[in-house]
Copies of this chain bind each other. A is one copy, B any other.
Amino acid sequence: MFSSEEKKAYMQAAFDQANLAKEQEEVPIGAVVVGPDGEIIGRGYNHRELDQDAVAHAEILAIREACQKLGSWRLIDCSLFVTLEPCAMCAGAIINSRIKTVYFAALDPKAGAAGSVVDLFSVEKFNHHPQVIRGLYREQGAQLLKDFFREIREKQKAAKKAAENCQTD
């Protein structure tokens, strides 16, 4: 088990990843995988628009890097920290990679597959059931997304206004 300080540091590392996404105008979602000895062995942030790749979610990229680092597709005794509740694809990847514990910040009421829309981690028939810690730094995760979408709306408004001004010049 991690101490509060450790959990805070790992989730902050996930937020650092999310901020890298934000800097590149991607929806700010970040994730890290923590290995059995407490070292961060995988990092990822949402790259969907940058790569035009439907699969390039933060969790997938962090999991792939961790597999590469360990030289194994089984991430036994590893934890994943992510700033938003995983979608079905990422929850499936977490199950497939045998990650032991998942910590996530904001809830995703539209696509969350760890309790909000479906709960894939509690499907009895699946062969792996990670422990799930919900809502660690939930407000911080939600605020990051709210700010991002507000900024996008403001930019769109400004662009529209500029276009209208051009037409009336």
Contacts and interface: CB of A to CB of B under 8 A. Distances in A.
Contacts of A67: 51-55
Interface in A107-146: 110-111, 113, 117-118, 120, 123, 125-127
A126 B118 CA distance: 10
A24 to B, nearest CB: 15
A125 B96 contact: no
Contacts of A51: 67, 73
A88 B120 contact: yes
Contacts of A68: 52-53
Central interface residue in A57, A74, A96, A123, by most chain B CB within 10 Å: A96
A126 B49 CA distance: 20
Given A73-B48, A88-B88, A126-B88, A55 B117 contact: no
A97 to B, nearest CB: 4
B52 A72 contact: yes
A87 interface: yes
Interface string A35-57: 00000000000001101111111
A59 to B, nearest CB: 10
Interface of A: 48-49, 51-57, 60, 63-64, 67-68, 71-75, 87-93, 95-98, 110-111, 113, 117-118, 120, 123, 125-127
* 4 nearest CB pairs, A to B: A89-B92, A88-B92, A54-B97, A54-B73
